Structure 1
Amino acid sequence: MKTIEYLKGDATRPASEGNAIIVHICNDIGGGGKGFVMAISGKWKEPEAAYRKWFESKEHFGLGEIQMVQVEEGLWICNMVGQHKTISKSGGKPPIRYDAVEQCLEKLAAEALQRNASVHMPRIGCGLAGAKWEQIEPIIQRTLLKNNIEVYVYDL
């Protein structure tokens, strides 16, 4: 089984050859504007626009769902709905939903295999969403690594 490759650097700049998918966690209330999404939106406008349109349409939108947005040749952003509300709207409880993250990563595994793509991410959910990496890492192992997908995790 593959292992996660930990790198120092910027997750918006995949450090591998070939097709790549950059992953991040979105909330289920159609908003954004804090955390890693700022780096994505600073580089590409399409992922945020697609996410907001998806939210408004309500079509297949909700916890555990993903949206693939191509931003360059061989490069996609995966919007993963793995967070319920935001910390300020959830009564101080962490908004991360581990079961939804797992559902998202299972769907992402199929997308990565179909595109023959590696997966790149910061420590998803461990910032404003309040996740603990010790709980996210095993989910990545059960979903992506189990399917022999290359996974790169970036620390700035």
Structure 2
Amino acid sequence: MKGITYVRGDATAPQAKGVKIVAHVCNDLGGWGKGFVLAVSRRWSEPEAAYRRWHRERAKNDFGLGAAQFVQVEPYVWVANLVGQRGMRTGRSSGVPVRYEAIDAALGLLADRAAELGASVHMPRIGCGLAGGSWARVEPLVLRRLVERGIPVTVYDFDA
């Protein structure tokens, strides 16, 4: 079993052959406008539109913590919107919005889709930016859900 590959670069420009899934964590409020999603939206419009529609129509679908939405943006590239954050951090917030159990559940769905597509997975350190999570807690989830199933994972550290 290979581990996670760590690289410097932009996760919205995945460096691999074949089908690729760019994964990131979203909140459960329908908010899209800060953090990694800005890079996603600069490259593709479809993931934001699909996420907002998914949230808007949530009474009739599976939107919620632990859910995952897959949006094809190029012939060999998909974006995975993983709902792993309860609300958003504000100046008055106590605690962090990240929900590790929701990230874990969404990673399970991601693993199923990646296996189905024969895809590699590309991501920033999900749940560790605006969601306030710890990579020490997220990394084992990625290893267990994806790497142990033989899915190649690349984590990108972006140099601004």
TM norm structure 1: 0.98
Which residue in the other structure is 2:71 paired with? 69
Check the 8 A contact 1:2/1:149 in 2, yes or no.
no
Segment drifting more, 82-91 vs 134-143: 82-91
Map 1:7-156 onto structure 2 (within 5 A). 7-58=7-58, 59-88=61-90, 91-156=93-158
Deviation at 1:88, TM superposition (A): 1.1
Partner SS state of residue 129, structure 2: coil
Contact kept, 8 Å, 1:27 with 1:85, in 2: the verdict is: yes
Which secondary structure state, in structure 1, belongs to the residue aligned with residue 38 of structure 2?
A: helix
What is the deviation of 1:2? 1.9
Amino acid at match of 1:40: V
Unaligned runs of 5+ in 1: none
Q: Take 1:116 and 1:31, find their aligned partners in 2: how far apart are those partners?
A: 31
Cα RMSD over matched residues?
A: 1.0
CA contact (8 A) 1:26 1:83 kept: yes
Alpha-carbon distance between aligned partners in 2 of 1:75 and 1:30, rounded to the nearest angstrom? 23
Describe the SS at the equivalent of 1:110. helix
Aligned length in residues: 156
Residues 80-117 of structure 1: CA deviation (Å, up to 9, x unaligned):
00000001187231100000000000010000000000
C-alpha distance in 2 between matches for 1:117 and 1:111: 8
3-state SS in 2 of match to 1:88: coil
Distance verdict in 2 for CA 1:90–1:111, change over 3 Å: farther
Mapped partners of 2:96, 2:54: distance in 1 = 24
